């Protein structure tokens, strides 16, 4: 089962991806997580992308495609995967299609997370992330039990550099201009399912229902 979760930053893709991973036992491939790990490690890739990410712009396509090619070759991807935050523009979607053709693979569904921008701003500016296990919290809707501490692994919570208010607006503009056109792109390929993402629990249940129907 190969899935793409498509939607604006803060739309709940990461949270839903984790639930899908637990339900269907397939890995999440989050280009954002992989890139942030590289930045934390301060390796060559991390140094190259740090400033771009801090600004909330997109990392060059060739870098992202290298990451994807390497990752999907790994053993844990043989039964499928969940792309979270990839593809981010038409160029990446075309490269993915080409890659899949070479590998004789195909995407089963693209789930588009529909959510108003006003809601996203509330979510992103209050989001805190665990440094250790990358679980997301929201200081208003889903606060941790203990301040600045992850309920699951006791890791330290932090605010992503790109969740600061001045960057959020730019990320939403990047989304509207570069990523949102993928909705039409995948609709035309008959892969698109639009999901109401106002509540992440409902978004997960809606996706689960569609995927369970796939095997009937």
Please give the residue ranges that form the binding site for ligand AMP (CB under 6 A): 9, 31-32, 35, 52-53, 56-59, 64, 85-86, 88, 92, 162, 171
Q: Render the burial of 21-49: b for 16+ CB within 10 Å, e for the rest.
A: eeebebbbbbbbbbbbebbeeeeebbeeb
d(CA 194, CA 184): 11
Choice among 160, 183, 193, 208 that is catalytic:
160
Instruction: Single out the catalytic residue among 18, 36, 128, 171.
Output: 171
Q: Which is nearer to ligand AMP, 36 or 211 (CB)?
A: 36
In the complex, the smallest distance separating the C-beta of residue 66 from ligand AMP, rounded to whole angstroms, is 12
Tell me the residue nearest to ligand AMP as measured from the CB.
32
Write out the two tokens for 99.
């890659």
Closest CB to ligand AMP among residues 168, 192? 168
Q: Which is nearer to ligand AMP, 42 or 146 (CB)?
A: 42
Name the residue among 139, 176, 175, 181 with its Cα closest to residue 157. Answer: 139
| Residues constituting the chain | 216
Active site positions, annotated: 13, 88, 127, 160, 171
């Amino acid at each position: 089962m190969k899935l793409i979760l498509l939607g604006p930053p803060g739309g709940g893709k990461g949270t839903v991806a984790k639930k899908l991973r637990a339900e269907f036992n397939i890995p999440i491939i989050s280009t954002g997580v992989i890139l942030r790990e590289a930045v934390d490690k301060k390796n060559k890739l991390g140094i190259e992308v740090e400033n771009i990410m801090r600004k909330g712009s997109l990392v060059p396509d060739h870098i992202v495609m290298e990451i994807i090619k390497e990752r999907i070759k790994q053993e844990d991807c043989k039964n499928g995967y969940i792309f979270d935050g990839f593809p981010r523009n038409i160029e990446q979607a075309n490269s993915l299609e080409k890659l899949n053709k070479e590998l004789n693979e195909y995407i089963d569904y693209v789930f588009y997370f529909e959510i108003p921008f006003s809601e996203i701003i509330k979510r992103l500016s209050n989001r805190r992330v665990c440094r250790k296990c990358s679980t997301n919290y929201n200081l208003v809707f889903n606060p941790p039990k203990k301040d600045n501490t992850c309920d699951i692994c006791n890791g330290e919570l932090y605010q992503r550099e790109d969740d600061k208010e001045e960057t959020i607006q730019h990320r939403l503009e990047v989304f509207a201009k570069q990523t949102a056109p993928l909705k039409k792109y995948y609709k035309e390929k008959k892969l698109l399912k639009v999901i109401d993402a106002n509540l992440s629990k409902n978004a997960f249940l809606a996706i689960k229902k569609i995927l369970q129907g796939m095997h009937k």
